[in-house]
Structure 1
């Protein structure tokens, strides 16, 4: 019912020319006091606040760097504090605006529109008397790597780009790559990987998420400015080899070979080791920015620790069944709702029967009709085990996701939890078999399995709802024998 997950091994490698990440042609470092001011950036239809850090006593007009947020940041008070201050202390004016949030949601993000919003900040920087208007550099981290290339194309006056932990590939491909890497590190059973294309490849409930297939490559192929590409070798969420190679290839399409690549040993997504931004990275960044245009093609072109990337971040197979997340969610909610209504209907019927039991006894009426012996209990067992299995699967996915994000392992949860989910799934099927056997025996004995309209409809509803949930559980891998 869904595609297999078989990522392609990465055959390409990138040649690291030197261990030292120092930027050739970088000027001698200087140190200045830093003064900060807060400003308002007018945008189309709204405005955002921003913090500008100024080097006190540095030669003016100075180069400037505008910071573009990734997905995990949004306020200048918490984002880029270390690199912004380090650059300012080295003689570079820096600006960190708040992210515009009225047009930025989980289900809707327009990277081209976001780029145009950030260009308002570029213009504000250029109007500052401390800034050389022709020496504004754009620094983008993570998700910002889908925004900054658009800015560079739409404003060729931008001097250079710094792409830190840039995803490069479309968001859907990057998400699948990251999930795969995290799951492998967490040590999940192979059967779990098949859920990746089913989850990442389907449309999300409620619609939206069109940005999941945004392709930055056509924009990168039009970049004419120098680019500094930065990755940490400890960042499992990004295609750190493929990313640098693709940026070089894309810029070459525009006749641009001014690409400098730096890898920092053991650094994570934020170029941090032990929670602290790598000091040499801040020095290299300042040297590369201050040295423009001489550092645009400075040697070595690729330096630092040797990166490793096992698999290609490539297209995600699309599910053939249950591709629509709204349909999938509707099936689950519908199944649960149907079973709940059926239970409520039978319960109400029993209350009414008990309330009229005395009157029936006085009238020597027939005893109240019930399910054939053993049928009601096994219907409840089927519904209960199926629902518990579904809940257990959700618990397992959430628990593994937390371990994966924290880059941790826990065999009791990862391996033991998966065994528990599958055992519950088997119990649900056994319960269904027992119910079928009891119904068969009752019919053989001439008993009425489900007397009355309410009990007949309720029995059918429980069986149908449980069957739907069992199919959904099978779709997500509870019953599969291999990957």
Structure 2
């Protein structure tokens, strides 16, 4: 009976308590991660934009003419720089012609890699087109000034207007993607611009668009719900290293001064843009400016840039050219909204700002420094042991590591039983979990941007990261259990100042990393 009672007591005080303490630790970290906020809870879009007809044909569009095209490269002088631009002119067209300047998105920068089809079809239809290279000396990942960029593109408008074959009163702009934040600035600052074409325009500020795109990408990839917590915590924080002021640029005030006719074009397969919300906002902003001439077209399954299978949609080229050539008759022609019925599940909305970890520099430095501290602290014991062995040899004493000799070695400084093992498991485990989590986020980002999914990565790797996180908590429990037991027996836990400091520092750095992992959702329990 006594042996059975002791066995039951061992069960209750051994593995059972370790498991219970681990579960408690995970729950505490989950609650802490939830309280550190913010959460991600996008608002559903409940006011859909209904198309009037599935046909994208432009009302009052004329029969397009077909001209030969002559191309040449010209130089656009900017403030302190110059760029090359490709000019495409219809051969044999009579009288001053309508002109159009193309504004690049984020993914393009030169005339030989962008807008080839659009510029060609417009030129063949009698419009003089100018595709300038993007100015890159003031354009970086960290710095983009959309107002200044609008001034640079305005130089291209001025150059096009100066050509003898171009009617200076009939020059408009075509903007795609990121250019959708530039063209409204140009139109607001220069009311004599005749028209604006916005293709795959974000409309909302870049930070909101980034969070919206990340949400859609992650949903399409099929990631576990806990990963969504990273959206506001990554997108909402200040980016490490500074810069990125443009991420909060709001084009609304310029759109509300945009009186020109506007053609807005989206593909219903473009999950990176708020295709319903964007069109509705431009319609409202134009109304505030006193204009109702906003024409919206949606193309079935077309992705960003109005492409299907990598090829630009022919109907889009036809409709866009018809709208431009047919102005002003096409500006207010019915139908105003047509094509494939668009769907947008959630609103692109302001991103909650992290309360505690808003500063990206602090987050990056904390992660890197804590990992380095853990790794360095783990080297203290072997270095200290080597120093003690060397000191013992110099005094002619037996090597404490070997235990040789008949008398006890004079310096035997070792961690108490179990402490080194579990401290090492905690330190190595938490660093590996951090590295695994960072790898997972990067892998998910790559899948999302490629519009692909991989169940082994999406679900399997997430389970693996979370399992590692739980094992790290278990190692922490076992470490503190070893410390408590050795203290109860009067055994020094970490003899020597170096070992004592190393143990405390390693535990503190590991605790910081555990809190960071909790913040990013590794321990979330649906809280």
Q: Do they superpose with TM above 0.5?
A: yes
- Which of these residues, 432, 439, 444, is aligned with residue 483 of structure 2? 439
- Which of these residues, 360, 370, 375, is aligned with residue 335 of structure 1? 370
Distance in 2 separating the partners of 1:221 and 1:385: 55
Q: Deviation at 1:187?
A: 0.8
Alignment of 1:145-164 (within 5 A): 145-164=180-199
Distance in 2 separating the partners of 1:148 and 1:221: 13
Which residue is equivalent to 1:460? Answer: 504
Distance in 2 separating the partners of 1:339 and 1:144: 46
Which residue is equivalent to 1:320? Answer: 355
Q: Deviation at 1:106?
A: 1.3
Q: Is the partner of 2:330 in helix, strand or coil?
A: helix
Q: Is the partner of 2:331 in helix, strand or coil?
A: helix
- Which of these residues, 427, 446, 456, is aligned with residue 383 of structure 1? 427
Distance in 2 separating the partners of 1:61 and 1:345: 81
- Which of these residues, 155, 159, 162, is aligned with residue 124 of structure 1? 159
Which residue is equivalent to 1:183? Answer: 218
Which residue is equivalent to 2:276? Answer: 241
Alignment of 1:151-300 (within 5 A): 151-300=186-335
Which residue is equivalent to 2:6? Answer: none
Q: Is the partner of 1:263 in helix, strand or coil?
A: strand
Which residue is equivalent to 1:5? Answer: 40
Q: Deviation at 1:17?
A: 1.1
Q: Deviation at 1:94?
A: 1.1
**1:480 counterpart = 2:524:** yes
> 1:149, 1:223 within 8 Å by CA — same for their partners in 2?
yes
Distance in 1 separating the partners of 2:381 and 2:94: 83
Q: What per-residue deviation string (whole Å, max 9, x for no partner) do you get for residues 303-328 of structure 1? A: 11110111111111111111111111
> 1:176, 1:197 within 8 Å by CA — same for their partners in 2?
yes
User: TM-score, length-normalised on structure 2?
Assistant: 0.89
Q: Is the partner of 1:4 in helix, strand or coil?
A: coil
**1:373 counterpart = 2:408:** no
Q: Is the partner of 1:296 in helix, strand or coil?
A: coil
Q: List gaps (5 residues or longer) in structure 1.
A: none
Which residue is equivalent to 1:430? Answer: 474
Which residue is equivalent to 2:139? Answer: 104
> 1:360, 1:366 within 8 Å by CA — same for their partners in 2?
no
Number of residue equivalences: 483
Structure 1 residues 436 and 25: CA distance shift in structure 2, 3 A: same
Q: What per-residue deviation string (whole Å, max 9, x for no partner) do you get for residues 89-146 of structure 1? A: 2211111111111111111111111101110111111111221111111001111111
- Which of these residues, 458, 465, 469, is aligned with residue 414 of structure 1? 458
Q: Deviation at 1:356?
A: 3.0
Distance in 2 separating the partners of 1:360 and 1:344: 25
Q: List gaps (5 residues or longer) in structure 2.
A: 1-35, 399-406
Distance in 2 separating the partners of 1:351 and 1:88: 79
Q: Deviation at 1:27?
A: 1.6
Q: Deviation at 1:442?
A: 1.2
Q: What per-residue deviation string (whole Å, max 9, x for no partner) do you get for residues 189-234 of structure 1? A: 1111111111111111111111111111111011110000000000
Alignment of 1:46-57 (within 5 A): 46-57=81-92
Distance in 1 separating the partners of 2:285 and 2:340: 23
User: TM-score, length-normalised on structure 1?
Assistant: 0.97
Q: Deviation at 1:361?
A: 4.2
Q: Deviation at 1:15?
A: 2.3
Distance in 1 separating the partners of 2:243 and 2:464: 35
